[in-house]
Amino acid sequence: MAKPDPQRQPGTRLLLLAWLLLGPCVARAQQTVAQSAARIDGDLAAIARTSAQTDKRQLGASVAQHVARLKEQSIMVFGDRRTQLGEKLRELIRSCDEWRSGAPDEARAAAGRAQELWADAKSLYPREALQLLPPLWSCQMHQELMQPTAGSCPICGMLLEPIYVTQPGLTEGPIIGAAVIADAPLQVGKRADLRIRLFFLDNGQPVSPADLEETHTRKIHLLISDITETDYHHEHPEPVGDGEYAFSFTPLRPDTYRVWADLLPARTSVQQYSVADIASSTPRRARLSKNEAENRRAEIDGYGFELSFEKDVIQERDTVAARLRVTEPDGRPCRKLGVVMGAFGHFVGVGDDFATVLHLHPTGPLISDPDARSGPELPFYFRSNKSGLFRLFAQVKIEGRDFFPRFVIHVRPRPSADTRSAEGRSRAARGGRHPDLSGSGIAVCDGNLIAAVLPAGDPASCSAPSCCAKHHSPGRRPSFGCWQAGSRRAGYVSREGRRCYSGARHIQSSVSSSTVGPRARRSRSPLERSP
Amino acid sequence: MKLLLRELCVFCLGAALSIQAALGCDVSDDSNFARAAALAKSTNRPLLLAFLGTDWSISSLKLDREVFDQTDFADNSKYDFVLCKLHFYQTRQRSPEIVRQNEELATKYKVQEFPTVIVLSPDGRELGRLGYIPGGVKAFAAAATALVGTAGR
């Protein structure tokens, strides 16, 4: 029989190559040092109680395999200890070989030696390296929280998400896909009856209600928005069989609508969003405004809705305590907020990428009494891991009617390490200290003078908190623009960015009302002059 | 004249406060070690080298989430450190250069347990070392600050 020529079998070669490349990665992902150590423990225990039926060859091979894997994974042992570990493990394998091939007395002695060597080898590891890391869950608002099981955050009530390094079996992406089935395109002002089909992405099987867990009294929350993020709906579809769920809503805009299905698969207990679009009968006319002004107030039929945050500036990955205050048409505090899906309110934020979505709830436990009332303030936590504009829709119920006030929140990017490093160099070079200057709304002058100016009508936009906090109270509009100075010269700018004092002539040239805001960052930076 | 006086007061107050203002903690990871060390030196700030068993040591996980990941630690001007997190992953592939760098540093500083935070002076002198300290940002920063203060930064 002719020997197969590997050069003529590219498929085989590719498979072999893939195995060679991916094999170690798969093994690495599946096995930790603690797991390998536990298996060696088990194998050595079996060796210690050897009987006539024991398959010595198989057991010896198992020890050798797990020791090899352990050695490869032991990234936490280095220097002299790694040398010692290597020696101990080599001797351990030798003892196992002696146990396998030796006479009964020699085998017993070799088994004892193997146990001792293994105990010595384990003592070279850091304390926690041989302990299996338990599955842990945390709150996206409160990163410091680590719970052993899935559930809700005891501080804010948000659903916990897995700490993935402790549960490598869970994937961060969605495991359920969605598609909207429409008999006809959407028409403005006309109720649309639609179905959403949910299916598992790995095998295409339909998702039944039993595959989902309930969150806030419902198994499926559909968050629906048009592309301008103006017309928002929150619907709960009903199952109609074969992984399909029926829902309806009346679009108020002639645009494409997007549906985010907020789901909690029973398989993972990890909250996920499955996204699907609904086409409109009219061509898309509107575009998402990237430069919409921040807006924290809304009014619907006389009812006032006002958002406030504990920090003036909201940065990405920053958990910020927030409140929604509701007032009656006559200005009195509204204490009639009813229960909507187990809470006195819901908040849904849609990012300016028309993809990121936040689903937030007021703090506190689920409300089981449907007649309970609250108000005028709803405390909640806000956090976005992404910067940009967020259209935040609140949903509250007043006297049986749902209200959806719309707000616009600006989440600013975090200063990059580069910016901080450059700032640090600059600071050292000048011998002075300056606030962090990244973020919009900051105007930068020349090397000796830095001015941060708040754009008119936006008291919260200065991202130099270490500077600003000293000059105005959080939540209050400062009497003049925030400022900062070098070691020898100083100045400040009026809120409108038109005046300068103290001989700071450079401010006048680089800061004007037109350069305040993102363009202001293009001003010549003192950091560029740093060595 | 009154206006001029007011402006002069604002100017003086501002100049005084500007000297107090600080950046907060600069947080980076092992891919930026060289830059973090250079930054500590150039800005005359203590360098914290945090050796973390990120995916196998629960104390490391706690330290990272309770302290290093907290915005209060990164943004609060009281915590004027440069922090470099050195990750020792079991389940994630890293570049060989980073793995070698981290091992060399761990060997150099004789790291035995994880997490270990080596507190270095701006010129690289070891001032002391810390592990996981319950109590979040305040407790950890107080311990680090005490080490820096004791050594007479």
The residue among B91, B81, B90, B106 whose CA lies nearest residue B30 is B106
- Residue A180 CA to residue A274 CA, distance in Å, equals 11
Residue of higher predicted confidence among B115 and A254? B115
Half-sphere exposure (CA, 13 Å, Cβ side) for A477?
10
Query: Any chain A CB within 8 A of the CB of B90?
Result: yes
Which residues of B11-120 form beta strands (DSSP E)? 26-29, 47-52, 82-87, 116-120
The residue among A440, A442, A420 whose CA lies nearest residue A527 is A420
The residue among A196, A275, A273 whose CA lies nearest residue A242 is A196
Both tokens assigned to A305: 């809705």
Question: Can you tell me the mean pLDDT for B107-128?
Answer: 93
- Measured between CB atoms, which of A34, A466, A492 is closest to B77? A466
For A463, name the nearest residue in chain B, comparing CA atoms only: B75
pTM for this predicted structure: 0.66
Both tokens assigned to A226: 């048009």
Query: Any chain A CB within 8 A of the CB of B101?
Result: no
| pLDDT of the residue at A25 | 41
| pLDDT of the residue at A322 | 94
| pLDDT of the residue at B27 | 85
Residues of chain A contacting residue B24, judged by C-beta atoms under 8 Å apart: 436, 466
Condensed to tens digits (0 to 9), the pLDDT of residues A174-196 reads: 999 999 999 888 888 999 999 99
- The parts of chain A modelled with pLDDT lower than 70 are 1-30, 51-54, 282-287, 415-531
Beta pairing, strands B116-120 & B47-52: antiparallel
Query: Any chain A CB within 8 A of the CB of B125?
Result: no
Residues of chain A contacting residue B112, judged by C-beta atoms under 8 Å apart: 126
Which residues of B46-122 form beta strands (DSSP E)? 47-52, 82-87, 116-120
- Residue A515 CA to residue A295 CA, distance in Å, equals 21
Q: How high does pLDDT run on average in chain A?
A: 75
CA distance B122 to chain A (A): 13
- Residue A78 CA to residue A124 CA, distance in Å, equals 10
- Model confidence at B79, in pLDDT bands (50, 70, 90)? confident
| pLDDT of the residue at A49 | 81
| pLDDT of the residue at A101 | 83
Q: A126 preceded by cis ω (within 30°)?
A: no
Both tokens assigned to A15: 């498979």
ipTM of the assembly? 0.80
Q: With an 8 Å Cβ cutoff, are B93 and A163 in contact?
A: no
Question: Can you tell me the mean pLDDT for B72-100?
Answer: 87
C-alpha torsion angle, residues A323, A324, A328, A331 (rounded to 10): 50
| pLDDT of the residue at B4 | 54
| pLDDT of the residue at A516 | 27
The helix (run of H) or strand (run of E) holding residue B106 is helix B96-108
Q: With an 8 Å Cβ cutoff, are B91 and A29 in contact?
A: yes
- Residue A247 CA to residue A236 CA, distance in Å, equals 7
CB atoms inside a 10 Å sphere around CB A9: 12
| pLDDT of the residue at A499 | 30
- Residue A524 CA to residue A508 CA, distance in Å, equals 13
| pLDDT of the residue at A512 | 27
**What sign has the CA pseudo-torsion B27, B33, B39, B41?**
positive
| pLDDT of the residue at A27 | 39
Cβ–Cβ < 8 Å for A215, A271: yes
Q: Which residues contact A210 (CB under 8 A, 6 or more apart)?
A: A266
CA distance B58 to chain A (A): 7
C-alpha torsion angle, residues B1, B6, B8, B13 (rounded to 10): 170
